[in-house]
């Protein structure tokens, strides 16, 4: 049995671990930002993803989904969540640290990790939760891309929330705007099955400086 604090990779949907992961996913991720269960199952099996679970007593207590495009210079921490009854015990920080530690090139160099985070700039019923979430990621070393109002390309009913992109482990490394554009095109195409030429990408980039500023 694995130690409680050690995450393990999930590679199959055929078992209780995936069912427990999906239950945490459905309870933790805003409905407008969720992908269908079949899509999450396909992610588990996809070679460009690393889906990791944390277990205690043989049951999944937390998970993360990390997108690692082979031909790119970044990773995307697409989802991360802790079971509701296990929150406020430091598991979230542990899951984040173990997840971003997997964002490495074959030669061992670390990749910057991008996060899609609900923005606290807009008035909403959960604004205080959004602020806490942003503060959580900042304490772990993440910074927000200045001037970028992220447009989530996930199809669904109703408006998408105002969002930010945050980046981990990018301090001291200037980020050319062209790299950010390529990252966005990759996310739209490979993470959301959309067009890399979606006009929203150009609109998002209008207010972003070159090189990109992090705040």
Cis peptide before 211 (omega within 30 of 0): yes
User: Rounded distance, CA 182 to CA 194, Å?
Assistant: 14
Residue 212 CA to residue 38 CA, distance in Å, equals 36
Q: pLDDT tens digits, residue range 20-52?
A: 999 999 999 989 899 999 999 999 999 999 999
Q: Return the closest-CA partner of residue 98 out of 138, 140, 133.
A: 140
Q: Which of 98, 62, 58 is nearest to 82 (CA)?
A: 62
Q: In the chain, which residue ranges form alpha helices assigned H by DSSP?
A: 16-28, 37-45, 91-100, 127-139, 177-186, 199-205
Q: What is the pLDDT of residues 143-182, one digit of tens each?
A: 999 999 999 999 887 888 889 999 998 666 789 999 999 9
Q: Is the pLDDT of residue 212 over 60?
A: yes
The 8-class DSSP code of residue 175 comes to B
Span 60-106, pLDDT tens digits: 999 999 999 988 999 999 999 999 988 877 889 999 999 999 999 88
The owner of tokens 């945050």 is 166
Q: Which two tokens stand for residue 102?
A: 């997997």
* pTM (whole model) above 0.75: yes
């Amino acid at each position: 049995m694995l130690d409680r604090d050690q995450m393990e990779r999930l590679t199959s949907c055929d078992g209780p671990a995936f069912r427990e992961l999906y239950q945490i996913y459905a309870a933790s991720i805003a409905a407008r930002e969720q992908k269908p269960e079949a899509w999450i199952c396909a992610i588990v099996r996809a070679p460009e993803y690393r889906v990791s679970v944390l277990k205690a007593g043989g049951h999944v207590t937390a998970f993360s989904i990390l997108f690692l495009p082979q031909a790119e210079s970044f990773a995307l921490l697409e989802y991360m969540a802790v079971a509701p009854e296990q929150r406020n015990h430091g598991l979230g920080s542990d899951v984040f640290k173990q997840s971003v530690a997997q964002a490495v090139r074959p030669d061992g160099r670390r990749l910057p990790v991008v996060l899609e985070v609900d923005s606290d700039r807009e008035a909403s019923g959960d604004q205080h939760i959004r602020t806490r979430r942003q503060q959580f990621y900042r304490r772990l070393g993440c910074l927000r891309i200045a001037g970028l109002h992220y447009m989530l390309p996930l199809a669904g009913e109703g408006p998408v929330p105002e969002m930010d992109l945050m980046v981990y482990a990018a301090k001291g490394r200037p980020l050319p705007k062209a790299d950010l554009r390529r990252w966005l095109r990759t996310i739209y195409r490979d993470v959301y099955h959309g067009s890399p030429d979606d006009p929203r990408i150009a609109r998002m980039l209008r207010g972003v400086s070159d090189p990109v500023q992090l705040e």
